Structure 1
Amino acid sequence: MDKPIEGRVTAAREDGVVVFLIGMRINSFAALRSWVPVARAMRPMLRELSRDEGSGLLGYRFLLGFPRLFYVVQYWDSKDRLLAYAAAPDRAHRPAWSAFNRRLREGRGRVGFWHETYVVPAGAHESVYVNMPEFGLGRATGTVPVGRRGERAAERLGVK
């Protein structure tokens, strides 16, 4: 278990960030052949990205919306690198995406899929973590004492 950092800290990242949410919803638990391969496909891609320091992936977190929803929050350094990975023919995403689309068509609605992408420019994000282990953007980019970026959320967002 991660040890909490005492006091108030904020994410160290001041540059822009891309937040990519991707997930699946199990519409039929009995349809194992439809959703188990989809659930297993994400880890190899994240391992591949994590091993490549130039990939643009800053960090990620698996989350569960009990009992049917599984998703991953990903932090990227740019939309260009996220899109480049998605389109790269020699990376794990393309074959996984092709296989997933095939299963989605064959599955007749037994598994759902979604993703959302948010491009957040520098100065348009802030965070605070109190007595928490590194989490979210802070885990992806490291943390600094809140005072370094501003005591209040408005200050961290550049609002006077």
Structure 2
Amino acid sequence: MSAQVIEGRMTAAAEDGVVVFLIGMRINKFRSPRDWWPVMRAMPRMLKELTEDPAGGLIGARFLVGGARLAYLVQYWESREKLLAYAAAPDRGHRPAWAAFNRRARAGGAGVGFWHETYLVPAGSYETVYVNMPEFGLGAATGVIPVGRRGDRAADRLAVKKSPAA
């Protein structure tokens, strides 16, 4: 992702549906790093694995911090099927990390909380605008185009439907 500001009003170049996956952790007990440190270390390894495999379905991710205790990722995926395939693949990083987390949680490791939310967003059901910003969010995942190509108002951009194949 480039930090170069793109002047003007832009919108994400995405045309198809997208899966938005939010995943994060909350440090409940700072003095229990044995609970939260493995969780903190697992995500960068999985992101590296996913970014090295473009066919895997992850099209973009952004790490965010919410105060001193909360860290999370906003991820954009090509499809629900690719997200679920990654989560279930026995030869990928997610399964062993999830199994280890569950073992620690069952053993009383409440020093860390974990959460995720998944949203399936069909084409035509999302709208974006970025004004004098570097590529960000869905625009960083799919590239950006001038707003005028999709309509100057949010209502116009939400009304745009993917054109049928010729």
TM-score normalised to structure 1 length: 0.96
1:6-155 alignment runs, 5 A limit: 6-155=7-156
Cα contact 1:34–1:107 (8 A) shared by 2? no
RMSD: 1.1
Amino acid at match of 1:50: T
Where do 5+ consecutive residues of structure 1 fail to align?
Answer: none
- Give the Å deviation of 1:100: 1.2
Amino acid at match of 2:41: R
Cα deviation code 1:2-58 (max 9, x no counterpart): 111100000000110000000010000000110011011001111111111111101
- CA distance in 2: counterparts of 1:100 and 1:12, whole angstroms: 37
Counterpart secondary structure, 2:56: coil
- Percentage identity across aligned positions? 69
- Give the Å deviation of 1:106: 2.4
- Give the Å deviation of 1:143: 0.4
- Give the Å deviation of 1:98: 0.7
Matched residue count: 159
- Give the Å deviation of 1:108: 3.7
- CA distance in 2: counterparts of 1:135 and 1:107, whole angstroms: 38
Change beyond 3 A, Cα 1:99–1:108: closer
Change beyond 3 A, Cα 1:33–1:16: same
- CA distance in 1: counterparts of 2:117 and 2:125, whole angstroms: 18
Counterpart secondary structure, 2:55: coil
Amino acid at match of 2:73: V
- Give the Å deviation of 1:104: 1.9
- CA distance in 2: counterparts of 1:103 and 1:129, whole angstroms: 41
Cα deviation code 1:70-95 (max 9, x no counterpart): 10000001001000100011111111
Cα deviation code 1:105-140 (max 9, x no counterpart): 224421101000000000000100000000000001
